[in-house]
Structure 1
Amino acid sequence: MFHLNIKNSPVGSVLRFGVVVVLLSTVVAGCEPITMGGKPQLSNPQPTPSTSGQTQAHNSHVASAGVGPQGGYDRTPLPQPPSLPSLDDLIGRIPQATSQSDGTAGAGEPPIIPMARGLRVAILLPLSGTNQRVGSAMLNAAQMALFEFAGSGFEVLVHDTQGTPEGAREAARLAIADGARMIIGPLLSTSVRAVSDQAIAAGVPVVAFSSDRTVAEPGVYTMGFFPSDEVKRVVEYARSKGAERFALLAPRGANGEAVSKALNASVWAAGGFVVQSEFYDPQLSDFSEPVKRIAHYDERRAALLQQRASLEAHGDEVSLLALKRLENLQTLGEVPFDALLLADGGKRLIAVAAMLPYYDIDPKKVKILGTGQWDAAGLGAEPALVGGWYAAPDPTVRKIFSDKYLAAYGIRPHRLATLAYDATALAVVLGAQNTPQPYSPDMLAQAGGFAGRDGIFRFSPSGIAERGLAVLQVQGKTARVIDPAPKAFP
């Protein structure tokens, strides 16, 4: 059974036995230990103004969590690839206590692993500000991982970054001062950069959630989903199915540039060719011009009109038959590519895709490819996207996580919640190993990697996460896996 013990000190409150430690910026007095039961709950933190007029970097709030008969979730490990050092498999190394009918520890209780006792890890999340909803979901997921994996003596210090670099920097300072051996988070790339220098100087590794690979460096790891992995996976699959000539249609900006770079590298490595790339202003509401350009519509339309005029001029029977065959065509000739990568998501993706048939790019002849931004429900509502391929984590294991989250909290998790779950589980598992440096580069950057809720992943020594992804095909209402994710890294 889990207990929340609130210390009457300005430093904070401590939720022990594998649950969350929540730091408070004000004194919490007169609180008794709370026995957990029912669904996990988290009170939403509110900013606490300081007397100096500046907002405190850490807000007063109390988390409570537990496993109970009403709507709780079980501790059954989710299925993982047996060939990997899966996070679920490693949980067996953390002793679990047995209980007598009177509630006391059983005589057969194994000893706690010495290195796990008193181990502290900090998690930095935007629990207020514009990304509060995301931060709260990620904290919920972290608590789930602690319930399922952590033994006694493991503590997680929770700090609110307020979604700002300044808040993240102060959160990291306090976490390091409180003895955190590793920092999980923050979420945004600007916040990661704000904490990196002091964390590296203190020898405290950072496992962040940003999808900006430029924030990674030795000692700073990031678990985000990178376009390079997604593009490489779907390009290799398309190449194996015969696609040779690739084109790109992407919004201007950092993400479009990253996808373009990844596409060129992946296609070249796979022995294909990138024949055309077009970029558009993401603020546009009408995407006709960029689609016309990549479709070579004006040239192909002019070729059709010229051919019609020539046939009409001849006027013989053969010419008239040929002219009749051209009646239902918009253009003459094919586009110069076999596969087109649409590097966008949401409403813009739908709007761009809807223009493809209009400008005579036939999805039956040109394979439409996507990135992880396609990993959302409802894409099949646009006919031009049905049958398209994209790379993403295998949804099977993630759905099991999502169902458990729904049972615990009553809502579906944010898409990024699995990152917090996997990072927290990783911290627990590595922290339980009998080594004086559980979060050393050798431990974090194991070549075999780990199996998480988004499939297998591993960190490179430079701090960038590599993931094993599946290839999915857009269906009418959902997407189905057409090439499974790998179960182990080569």
Structure 2
Amino acid sequence: MAAGLLALAACAPTVGPEPPQVQAQQAPITAEPLEPVAPVDRTVKVALLVPLTGNAAELGQGMLEAAQMALFDLGDDSFQLIPRDTKGTPGGASEAARDAIAEGAQLILGPLYSSSVGAVRPAVQGAGLGMISFSNNMSQAGSGAWTIGFSPDNQVRRVVSYARSQGIGRIGSLAPRDAYGDAVSTALNAAALDFGARVVRTERYDPAATDLSPAVQSLASGGPGSLDAVMLAEGGPKLRSVASLLPAFQIDPAQVRLLGTGMWDDPTLGSEPALVGGWYAAPDPAARRDFEQRFESIYGRRPPRLATLAYDAAALAAVLARNGGPAPFDMMALTNPNGFAGVDGIFRLRPDGLVDRGLAVMEVTPNGNRVIDPAPSSFQALGF
């Protein structure tokens, strides 16, 4: 098992030296028969709500298999995983949650989609349980529910912090006019304020637009030298398209650093020359390489990217169940300020339902993306 996964157990209480042995006195013999003691049921049940049928069945199956790997790696005989099919719908997720609660689940892992999180929340809160969902929609966090999906907030904060340390102070932004663009823009403004940078211009555009030239032209209206960096809240073909437009409007990527989010976590980005040299924040790919290789050796295929979320959530539950006593999933245990080390690096559940992650800063190169600032090994290293 990877050393990083073993670090999850570091949150268990430390066992001190054994006390000196004392000669025990023999108990007096009594004529009264001893009553038999009923065995204590130590079974800890944790539900996993993922889509096992419907359009996302392949993803859900991969997440289930990853959770089973975590159970094998870190669980003991008292830990029981209860998988339930959400069918990829809010109604299916609600039914799955009620069924798992009726079976005695003490913690809910999942569901995947934010709409399903909202549907599940009443039953979970009514039962007084915690829920670690795989959504990255931060509006669904809070009141005993956590969203451990890869949120743009962590990614933007990390890359802006690094950029500021490299002397970048004036940042522009291109973002779609949708929920993701809103999240990136909000995170950028907050990070710039915290780290002493300025967001000098933000351009939003219709996410359905095929020609982004007007938005790029408006962003460049300050003239050459007005920007130190540009945040591009896109991925895939549209990211390549908008990046290729920048030089035509005098935003030279050789002079203006391009910044991105986890949507840039694509080893082929370097095929677009304008993106070479760009920075983004993401989990260190080396940290999950062992997991991916083991998953493929067991199941004969590559894991879906989100499978690591299920592994880390199940591993966290298994470790707390093993070391947490009669209430392994209370708020204090789940929100340990030291956090936990998982396949995607260190992470920490906050009391407000959000999740802090320790991310690496990556640079796009023609031959793939490389780490230029390693992921931290503790939250003390991040200063919070």
Deviation at 1:377, TM superposition (A): 2.1
The equivalent residue for 1:431 is: 321
Distance 2:40 2:54 in 1: 36
Question: RCO higher in 1 or 2 (8 Å CA, sep ≥ 6)?
Answer: 2
Distance, in Å, in 2 between the alignment partners of 1:364 and 1:116 is 64
1:267 partnered with 2:192: yes
Query: CA 1:390/1:118 → structure 2, altered by over 3 Å: closer, same or farther?
Result: same
Do the aligned residues in 1 keep the contact of 2:324 with 2:333 (CA within 8 Å)?
Answer: no
Please tell me whether residue 165 in structure 1 is matched to residue 78 in structure 2.
Answer: no
Distance 1:342 1:404 in 2: 34
5 Å-filtered alignment, 1:348-367, equals: 348-367=238-257
Give the letter aligned to residue 164 of structure 2.
R
Q: Which of 322, 325, 339 is matched with 2:229 structurally?
A: 339
3-state SS of 1:471 partner: strand
5 Å-filtered alignment, 1:209-248, equals: 209-248=134-173
Aligned to 1:30: none
2:320 is aligned with what amino acid? Answer: L
Tell me the distance in 2 between the aligned counterparts of 1:160 and 1:448.
33
Q: Which has the larger radius of gyration?
A: 1
Instruction: Specify the code of the residue in structure 2 equivalent to 1:475.
Output: T
**CA deviation after TM superposition for structure 1 residue 90, in Å:** 6.8
Q: Is 1:116–1:432's contact at 8 Å kept on the other side of the alignment?
A: no
CA distance in 1, matches of 2:241, 2:130: 42
Report the CA distance between 1:455 and its aligned residue: 0.4
Separation in 2, partners of 1:134, 1:289: 37
Match status 1:410 vs 2:331: no
Q: Larger helix proportion, structure 1 or 2?
A: 2
Equivalent residue, structure 2, for 1:87: 8
Q: Contact 1:116–1:433 (CA<8 Å) still a contact in 2?
A: no
Structure 1 counterpart of 2:2, from 68, 73, 78: 78
| Residues 379 and 477, structure 1, Cα contact 8 Å, conserved in 2 | no
State the secondary structure of the residue aligned to 1:230: helix
1:362 Cα offset (Å): 0.5
**CA offsets, 1:288-339, max 9 Å, x none?**
111111122xxx8xxxxxxxxxxxxxxxxxxxxxxxxxxxxxxxx5141101
Cα distance change of structure 1 residues 116 and 483 upon mapping to structure 2, 3 Å threshold:
farther
The letter for the 2-side match of 1:130 is: N
C-alpha distance 90-275 of structure 1, shift in aligned 2 (>3 A): closer
Say which SS state the counterpart of residue 415 (structure 1) adopts: coil
* Separation of aligned partners in 2, 1:398 and 1:247: 32
Q: Structure 2 matches for 1:367-406, cutoff 5 A?
A: 367-406=257-296
**Aligned equivalent of 1:317:** none
Contact 1:117–1:152, Cα closer than 8 Å, also in 2? no
Unaligned segments of structure 2, at least 5 residues: 15-38
Contact 1:267 1:274 in 2 (8 A): yes
Q: Secondary structure at the match of 1:170?
A: helix
Shift of 1:89: 5.0
1:176 is aligned to: 101
Equivalent position amino acid for 2:363 in 1: Q
In the TM superposition, structure 1's runs of 4+ consecutive aligned residues that sit over 6 Å from their partners are 90-93
**Structure 1, unpaired ranges of 5+:** 1-76, 94-113, 301-332
| Residues 446-480 of structure 1 deviation map (CA, whole Å, 9 limit, x = unaligned) | 00000000000001101111101110100113111
Gap change, CA 1:88 and 1:432, over 3 Å in 2 = closer
Q: Tell me the SS of whatever aligns to 1:158.
A: strand
The match for 2:124 among 174, 192, 199 is: 199
Aligned twin of 1:454: 344
Do the aligned partners of 1:246 and 1:341 also contact (CA within 8 Å) in 2? yes
Match of 1:465 in 2: 355
> Which residue does 2:372 correspond to in 1?
482
Structure 2: distance between partners of 1:249 and 1:201:
42
TM-aligned CA deviation for residue 88 of structure 1: 5.3
Q: 1:277 aligns with which of 166, 188, 202?
A: 202
Contact 1:115–1:433 (CA<8 Å) still a contact in 2? no
Instruction: Show CA shifts across 1:118-168 (max 9, x none).
Output: 211110001111211211111111111111111113211111000111000
For the 8 Å contact 2:12–2:323, the answer to whether it is kept is: no
**Contact 1:172-1:199 within 8 A present in 2 as well:** yes
Please, what TM-score do these two structures have when normalized by structure 2?
0.89
How far did 1:434 drift? 4.6
Looking at structure 2, the residues matched to 336 and 115 of structure 1 have their Cα atoms a distance apart, in angstroms, of 69
* Structure 2: distance between partners of 1:89 and 1:405: 24
Q: How far apart, in 1, do the equivalents of 2:246 and 2:325 lie?
A: 57
Q: How many residues are aligned here?
A: 356
Q: How big is the shift at 1:406?
A: 1.3
One-letter amino acid matched to 2:167: G
SS in 2 for 1:137: helix
8 Å contact kept, 1:115–1:432: no
Q: Does 2:28 correspond to 1:138?
A: no
| Maintained 8 Å contact 1:405/1:411 | yes
Change (3 A) 1:443 1:92: closer
The alignment's C-alpha RMSD in Å is: 1.9
Amino acid aligned to 1:180:
A
In structure 1, the residue matched to 2:212 is: 287
